[in-house]
Amino acid sequence: MSDPQQLNEQEENCADLISEAITDQEGIVQVSLHPQDGHLEIDYDPQKVSQPAVEKVAQQVSPILQQRWNTCTMRLGRHGGRACESCALRLENKLGELPGVRRATASFVGGALSVSYNNQIISPDEITLHVKQMGVPVAPSAAELPAEPEPEVPATGLQTAWNWLLDGRLEAIFTVITLITMIAGLIAERQEATVAATVLFVIAYIAGGTFGLQGGIESLRNRTIDVDLLMVLAAIGAALVGQPFEG
């Protein structure tokens, strides 16, 4: 991968190409290229050249920029909890520091990563390698997958049932269990059935906190704190002060 000095040289070469492309246009005073955000500024004398003429020049030089900047899209796996957009922001910032990367946008909720990069400085394979080194599961986008998928191995009955649960249904089932046991625990507590209330609240905390705890641990691994971790801590605090239903 190229160093920052090479990145500056590439940007200067790109600016030189654009300057050469419009040097014959009378009335254009200065051209400023901002590769970090993909902006091109053209200063011109309105007495010598009209705005439509300048816009036409900008359209003529835009392919030069497009040749230098490409965009690749990847699929992100589950990572950092259900609502860990802070993890996505950290990933964006880390990728944005790489030489040749202009902009990166990530969303673990949507499961997508988009990176705009200079193909003369960094390649999609290098970007993918850096993402994996950060511990983030990543795969090519659907558009980049082979036309003929590999034959699937027939799943057993147990695997089919497990995959069915993992497809967003297990979390919904745990949510229903949490709701039922929390209400039952509150009723048992008011009836002074201490043992039954304790058992029901423990079941509710296990069912309701499993995914939150997993998400919180993943967030801590990324040195971030998200809503999953805060909710788990709040529930534990409520239980410690004798108000498990509030958790």
If you average pLDDT over residues 59-70, what whole number do you get?
A: 62
Whether residues 131 and 74 share a domain: the answer is yes
* Domain end (from 68, 98, 118): 68
Is the pLDDT at 36 greater than 50, yes or no? yes
In a domain, 75, yes or no: yes
Whether residues 37 and 11 share a domain: the answer is yes
Whether residues 202 and 237 share a domain: the answer is yes
Q: How many domains does the chain have?
A: 3
* Domain end (from 37, 68, 99): 68
Whether residues 118 and 193 share a domain: the answer is no
Instruction: Kindly report the three-state secondary structure assignment for every residue of 104-167.
Output: EEEECCCCEEEEEEECCCCCHHHHHHHHHHCCCCEEECHHHCCCCCCCCCCCCHHHHHHHHHHC
Whether residues 163 and 228 share a domain: the answer is yes
In a domain, 123, yes or no: yes
In a domain, 188, yes or no: yes
Whether residues 139 and 183 share a domain: the answer is no
How buried is 57 (Cβ within 10 angstroms: 0-12 exposed, 13-18 middle, 19+ buried)? buried
Whether residues 238 and 174 share a domain: the answer is yes
Is the pLDDT at 126 greater than 60, yes or no? yes
For residue 27, which of 4, 65, 1, 56 has the smallest C-alpha distance? 56
In a domain, 167, yes or no: yes
What CATH number does the domain containing 23 carry? 3.30.70
In a domain, 10, yes or no: yes
- Write down the pLDDT at residue 56: 76
What CATH number does the domain containing 133 carry? 3.30.70.100
In degrees, rounded to 5, the angle at the alpha carbon of residue 241 between the alpha carbons of residues 236 and 247 is: 40
Whether residues 186 and 161 share a domain: the answer is yes
Q: What are phi and psi of 143, to 5 degrees?
A: -70, -20
* Domain end (from 115, 144, 173): 144
Whether residues 103 and 24 share a domain: the answer is no
Burial track 90-121 (b if 16+ CB lie within 10 A, e otherwise): bbbebbeebbbbbbbbbebeeeebebbbbebb
In a domain, 150, yes or no: no
Whether residues 161 and 239 share a domain: the answer is yes
Q: What is the pTM of this model?
A: 0.46
pLDDT band at 152 (very low <50, low <70, confident <90, very high): low
Share of the chain above pLDDT 70, in %: 63
Whether residues 162 and 242 share a domain: the answer is yes
In degrees, rounded to 5, the angle at the alpha carbon of residue 176 between the alpha carbons of residues 173 and 180 is: 140
38: containing domain = 4-68
Q: Give the pLDDT confidence of 84-103 residue by residue, as tens digits.
A: 667 777 888 888 888 888 88
In a domain, 76, yes or no: yes
Burial track 187-213 (b if 16+ CB lie within 10 A, e otherwise): ebbeeeeeeebeebbebbbebbbebbb
Whether residues 169 and 240 share a domain: the answer is yes
DSSP 245: G
In a domain, 151, yes or no: no
